[in-house]
A and B are shown apart, each in its own frame.
Chain A
Amino acid sequence: MWILLVLLFAAPLFAEPPDLEEVACTWCHYEEAEDFAESVHYLQGHLLCTDCHGGLPFAEDPDLAKAPEAGFIGKPGRADVAEVCAQCHSGPAGYFAQGPHHEWQNEANPTCITCHRNHRVLDASLALMDETCSQCHDEWSAARDRGQKIRVELEVGAEHLQRVAMEVDSLSGFERSLQKAQPFIEDATAVLQSADAATHALDVQMIEGMVAEVRGERGVAGAEGVVGAYYEKLRMRPRIVFAVWVFVLVNVALFWWKRRDLP
């Protein structure tokens, strides 16, 4: 009996994404469905077509499934793409609106799906910038330069944070004082995550500022301070032991001398 209860509560851990074959949209839009089946939205987010396009996913009657009353919006136009994505990704969408690409009327500008794809959306990474910027910008252009600066800045910041976080992690296992470094790592990680969102504004100075905060006194540098203090403590120990032994041996030498000196 209790096994059932355990399974009930553990179910979310083992949950599989819903079966796409049961979603009526896929019976006709099978190419899009195939793409979507590989995306993080489906595999990790457990989303369905209707979470972005609206409508009813399991209604077999197309008129019911695609009823405007059910929220169906069909294929979003250029203007609407950012709005759909912003339902969940309001951070990046907000920064995008501040960036050089925000005028959706200009067909030369990308929308969210130009770089992130529409159905086969994978985990956003810095590598994405390599693939996508070149679609429109020449290799030696100022735009590519800007993107490259941002990419490098974020990469350096992320690598620094990861390196220090790993060191703090491995040391925390046996040295209690390292726990003081945790808040710094957590703060730095939070800022880095918002820096990732802020990439969409494509503002070099903004990113440089945020990465500086990640690596600064209240972030990675703070954690490094804690680690440094620990290593300093470790270095001090043998020196203190040496001093103790000098004191002990001086006293022992005095006792020895006294003994020899006695009648």
Chain B
Amino acid sequence: MAESEPFSRRFFNALMGLGFVGTLGGLAGTALAYLWPMPDAVTTSEFLSTTRGKVAGAELGENEGVVGRSPMGKVLVVRKDGALRGVQATCTHLGCTVAWNGESGEIECPCHGARYALDGQVLKGPARDPLAQVEVREETEGLRILGPVS
């Protein structure tokens, strides 16, 4: 190898390397764009909804609970002593969806056994943080999720 103009040759090789990097970058970039997470296909309405549509108030009897989607995410609504109580349905431990146990009168998480009261307070671990309370109003069209309880 001639040592004349070693800088030019190095610059040259660097340019070629850049070309390779550019090609790989192009491939990776298009793949990244393609794989980018897309907006959810599920649209949320202000009324509690499941895959079967809006939940009707009549479906929810005394001491029964139902989990559905809302603008606040998944929400658990329980009818207790005639009144509707709502809490976030995502367990604060590792994210599983909780359910209402009418017999025990507690909200239970099936994954690791966490227990919450109807106001969201933790009764038994491994969860530490309480479930956020959600305001629910029964209307003719369905169960309107109003937002967090202030």
Beta-carbon contacts under 8 Å, A237-263 to B: 247, 250-251, 254-255, 257-258, 261, 263
Instruction: Decide: B23 and A251 in contact? CB cutoff 8 A.
Output: yes
B1 touches A254 (CB 8 A): no
Q: Note all chain A residues with C-beta closer than 8 A to B15.
A: 254
- Contact A254/B9 with A247-B22, A263-B1 known, Cβ cut-off 8 Å: no
Task: Report if B125 contacts A (CB, 8 A).
Answer: no
Among B9, B19, B23: residue with most chain A CB under 10 A = B19
Q: Size of chain B's interface in residues, with CB distance under 8 A?
A: 10
Shortest beta-carbon distance from B30 to chain A in Å: 12
Find the A residue at minimum CB distance from B23.
A251
By the criterion CB–CB under 8 Å, are A254 and B12 in contact?
A: yes
B146 adjacent to chain A (CB < 8 Å): no
Closest chain-B Cβ to A251's Cβ sits at a distance in Å of: 4
A258 and B19 contacting across the interface, CB-CB below 8 Å: no
How far is it, in angstroms, between the C-alpha of A117 and the C-alpha of B16 when the chains are bound? Answer: 83
Residue of A nearest to B1 (CB): A263
Instruction: Report the minimum CB–CB distance from B1 to chain A (whole Å).
Output: 7
CB of B77, distance to nearest CB on chain A (Å) = 34
CB pair B19–A250 under 8 Å, yes or no, is yes
- Which residues from 209 to 263 on chain A have a C-beta closer than 8 Å to any C-beta of chain B? 247, 250-251, 254-255, 257-258, 261, 263
Give the distance in Å from the alpha carbon of A261 to the alpha carbon of B22 in the complex: 23
Shortest distance from the beta carbon of B33 to any chain A beta carbon, whole Å: 14
Across the interface, name the chain B residue whose C-beta is closest to A263: B1
Complex CA gap A161/B22 in Å reads 47
B16 lies within 8 A of A258 (CB): yes
- Docked pose: A255 CA to B13 CA in angstroms: 10
Distance of A247 Cα from B21 Cα, bound (Å): 12
B16 and A261 contact, CB distance less than 8 A? no
Contacts of A247 in B (CB 8 A): 19, 22-23, 26
Residue of A254, A255, A258, A263 with highest tally of chain B CB at under 10 A = A254
Contact of B9 with A261 in the complex, beta carbons under 8 Å: yes
What B residues does A258 contact at CB under 8 A? 12-13, 16
Q: Is the CB of A251 within 8 A of B1?
A: no
9 A-B pairs with C-beta separation under 8 A: A247-B26, A250-B19, A251-B22, A254-B12, A254-B19, A258-B12, A258-B16, A261-B12, A263-B1
A residues contacting B by CB (< 8 A) are 247, 250-251, 254-255, 257-258, 261, 263
List 10 A-B pairs, minimum CB-CB distance, nearest first.
A251-B19, A254-B16, A254-B19, A254-B15, A258-B16, A247-B22, A250-B19, A257-B12, A258-B12, A251-B23
